[in-house]
Amino acid sequence: MAELGAALAARGVELVSTGGTAKALRDAGLAVKDVADLTGFPEMMDGRVKTLHPTVHGGLLALRDNPEHVAAMQAHGIGAIDLVVVNLYPFEATVAKGASRAEIIENIDIGGPSMVRSAAKNHGFVTILTDPADYATLVAEMDANGGATTQAFRTRMAGKAYARTAAYDSAIASWFAFADPAGETTPFPDTLPIALKRADTLRYGENPHQAAAIYVPQVVGAAGVPQAKQLQGKELSYNNLNDADAALELAAEFAGQEPAVVIVKHANPCGVAQGASLLSAWEAALACDSVSAFGGIVAVNTELDAATAEAISAIFTEVVIAPSVSAEAREIFAKKKNLRLLECGALPDPRRGGLALKTIAGGVLIQSRDNGAISADDLKVVTKRAPTEQELKDCLFAWTVARHVKSNAIVYARDGATAGIGAGQMNRRDSARIAAIKAAEAAETYGWPAPRTRGSAVASDAFFPFADGLLAAAEAGATAVIQPGGSIRDDEVIAAADEAGLAMVFTGMRHFRH
């Protein structure tokens, strides 16, 4: 701010300010008039009232070409204010740092947004700046136009100003709706204000004829693909971002656990594994479906090392994302100029709250995030045979993956690795069969004596409405089943599992992902 103040003063602009900003400008050796000198009233009520005055807003709102407005200014000693620079109280940052309710309330700016709106409304004559990124542009604009600004510039700045106050008010309204400890919070307020800031414009959307951009919430400390640092590679596309998010969300399920690798294609996992090393996890994940892995997205839950980077580089990969990347791994990936390499730092919290939005014709569907989770203690054994310790471990692993697979989802897993994944089919039986086919193809590719579905656990994201899907899994060699239960034909499905010698547990929770 001091740098801008110096640039304006050098161009003959009289500076008027308040509080801390005025002090900073004076400390920089600049002549500054207090707003109190302008209005004839001192700042009062702990600074809550200082700019809310006719002298200020009359100077902002007066139409310079309206004789009545000009006469009113002259009659009341109101001077024209031609330029307003405002940085609003840091409400969002105050909330993010965990401040007390009283401090949060005090950081709701009143005078600032009022001046912004007044100046923006009168942008035919007044320039309003709310973004420090525009300071240099303002100075260049003034130099190019004899100390003035153009109508086009003022109009653009007015649009940004209203977007800023809208976002600011949205953050305040959201806090009252979702986080105010003294209020009655609700996940679905009558009006849902959503404020997002454009992070980047993308080359195109899901298809080349679609325009696209990426926006991020005004949240300090948000963790995800948009916040990741791109270390190398081409610009991320819409599909890259969507797939990388799917991969990272699943990798985050294994935060703090043994090394895990997730391979995603078209927003669906095609291979997931954990291992004693990241390299062994990669090899097991790739073996699940090496055909689909071509051109895929890879996410890991720990630092990416050189050995794993070398192995990943052996196939065509679009994006690799990791919490951190070793210097040796970076050197290896640098040979793949088109590969996008992302370092995300902290993994997102898979159990975080929040809302999920989906647009439909004429409206928006909104639901809470699917952050539900189950543990071994939540499972109900419904068959004559209970799962073994290893089967139970494989059931929970398969269930973790299944909740990230498009419905209808079937996931076979054995020894901490997916053996086959069936996604997005119109019936559950076909998903079970497709996953088994992929497992059989993998066995043929790698020369295994049998598909890894033999002796596996199988997870279904929703209940089996008929026994056919379960029987398809049994035919593929699964020995244990994890599913939500809740079908009117549960007894029929349980009987079929008993007859096939399967162990089956119910979770009581489903994970549809359309």
* Residue 98 backbone zone (phi > 0: left; psi -120 to 50: alpha; other: beta): left
- Tokens representing 248 are 């990272």
Residue 126 DSSP code: -
For this structure, is 266 an active site residue? yes
For this structure, is 121 an active site residue? yes
Which segments within 401-449 are labelled E, that is strand?
410-414, 417-422
| Selected catalytic residue, list 69, 160, 234, 266 | 266
Cβ neighbours of residue 342 under 8 Å, at least 6 residues apart? 225, 228, 229, 230, 231, 244, 319, 320, 321, 322
Cβ neighbours of residue 248 under 8 Å, at least 6 residues apart? 224, 225, 299, 321, 344, 347, 348
Cβ neighbours of residue 23 under 8 Å, at least 6 residues apart? none
Q: How distant, in Å, are the alpha carbons of 33, 126, 394, 511 from that of 123?
A: 23, 5, 64, 51
Of 429, 514, 478, 431, give the one whose Cα is nearest residue 421. Answer: 431
Q: What are phi and psi of 416, to 5 degrees?
A: 75, 25
Q: How far apart are the first and last CA of the chain?
A: 48
Q: Which residue has the tokens 């692993």?
A: 397
Of 287, 327, 319, give the one whose Cα is nearest residue 300. Answer: 319
Cβ neighbours of residue 134 under 8 Å, at least 6 residues apart? 157, 160
| Selected catalytic residue, list 121, 160, 234, 393 | 121
* Residue 143 backbone zone (phi > 0: left; psi -120 to 50: alpha; other: beta): alpha
Cβ neighbours of residue 207 under 8 Å, at least 6 residues apart? none
| Alpha-carbon span 301 to 258, nearest angstrom | 8
Of 136, 384, 423, 390, give the one whose Cα is nearest residue 270. Answer: 423
Residue 476, beta-bridge partner list: none
Query: How would DSSP label each residue in 340-391?
Result: EEEE-SSPP-TT---EEEEEETTEEEEEE-------GGG-EE-SSBPPPHHH
Residue 32, beta-bridge partner list: 15
Residues in the chain: 514
* H helix or E strand, kind and range, residue 137: helix 135-144
- Tokens representing 71 are 């006469």
| Alpha-carbon span 290 to 284, nearest angstrom | 10
Active site amino acids: 121, 266
